[in-house]
Amino acid sequence: MKVFLHLFLIWIALAGIASNASAQAYPSKPLRLIVPFAAGGTGDVLGRLLASKMSEVLGQPVVVDFKPGAGTTLGTDFVAKSPPDGYTILFSASTTMSINASLYSKLPYDTLKDLAPVSMLAAIPNMLVANHALAASTVPELIALAKASPGKLNYASPGSGTTPHLAGELFKMAAGINMTHVPYKGAGPAIVDVLGGHVPMLFDNIPSVQPQVASGKMKALGVTSAKRSPAMPNVPTFAEAGLAGFEANSWWAILAPAGTPKEIIARLNTEVVKALNDAGLKERYIGLGADPAPGTPEEAAAHIRGEVAKWAGIVKASGARVD
């Protein structure tokens, strides 16, 4: 019995040494950064910028691999079921991590159990914009207009269940107004219809609508962040407009499969934070309207848990559902 116990303790010690050696050698081959949505959007640009900088600081290529489909659940499930060795990581968004948990009646993975947060990356506020025919140029004016004509105003979004859509629903709840949501298949057609006067206003990420505001084709009523965006410093927040505590941002985070060794999570976190603190990358992010927000894995996990709880009630109130 003593011999068996002695051998068992030696085995545990050797396993620990092997684990530490493996973590110290990490990474010894290229990493895959899974982006669960189609190329061409804001997340695509942010992901490529991060991958490029992480390749430098890690000393190994970080290859961007797009796996869109099923409202981002396809790529997310791929990472959740990948080996927990730190070589397959997820570039995820707020819709995936905080909204889909309530939007879908069943997911092939558990949002909070099957993925290990590495770090938050950045937050991008949504912005409410309108065509010049709308008889309101501020959030308080819009609230008054909506209360005078309940249910008669429409607002567009890039799609049902997206953060911009639910920012609109949160606005309705906070302001005590009734507006009708008009979902589109992406920001492009929604912008075209707002410009054409088919729908008066639109909630969307700042980078999507900033050019229209800058050119004078649309007017900006408010941003959904807690503080004004450096990309649109003259546009007031909804909180400034009288809706205290209002915040409805899009955000991005890096996650790994659950079970990834803590040493590897820590190494990834260190390098992500280092990349986001690079002056050049930070400038590019801010130029896109993204506010870099690196932090610890624990902070990322707490943020995601809070967002899941926050948006569950808003999804339920909106009636949005994808099955």
Phi, psi of 157 (to 5 degrees): -150, 165
Stretch(es) of the chain classified as CATH 3.40.190.150 = 26-124+251-318
The DSSP bridge partners found for residue 119 are 254
User: Kind and range of the H or E element at 183?
Assistant: strand 180-183
Residue 63, beta-bridge partner list: 32
What's the pLDDT score for residue 11? Answer: 54
pLDDT given at position 18: 47
Give pLDDT tens digits for 77-121: 999 999 999 999 999 989 899 999 888 888 999 999 999 999 999
pLDDT at 19: 47
Neighbours of 233 (CB within 10 A): 8
Dist. CA 36–CA 39, nearest whole Å:
9
Give the Cα separation of 278 and 298 in Å (integer).
Answer: 22
Look at residue 1 in the predicted model and tell me its pLDDT: 52
Rounded to whole angstroms, how far apart are CA atoms 35 and 48? 10
pLDDT of res. 218? 97
Q: Which residues of the chain have pLDDT under 50?
A: 7, 13-15, 17-19, 21-22
- pLDDT attached to residue 2: 54
CATH architecture of structural domain 26-124+251-318: 3-Layer(aba) Sandwich (3.40)
- Quickly count: other Cβ atoms within 10 Å of residue 56's Cβ: 14
Closest CA to 161 of 249, 102, 80, 248: 102
- pLDDT at position 309 is 92
Res 70: pLDDT? 83
Residue 72, CA atoms < 13 Å, CB-side half-sphere: 24
How many residues in the chain? 323
How confident is the model over 123-167, as pLDDT tens digits?
A: 989 999 999 999 999 999 999 999 999 989 999 998 888 899 999
Query: Residues spanned by CATH 3.40.190.10 within the chain?
Result: 125-223
User: What is the pLDDT at residue 58?
Assistant: 93
Q: Phi/psi of residue 294, each to 5°?
A: -70, 155
Listed in sequence order, the DSSP H helices in the chain are 2-25, 42-58, 73-80, 94, 100-103, 139-148, 163-175, 187-195, 206-214, 262-276, 279-287, 297-318
- Measure the CA–CA gap between 289 and 221, rounded to whole angstroms: 16
Q: 125-223 sits in which CATH class? A: alpha beta
DSSP 104: B
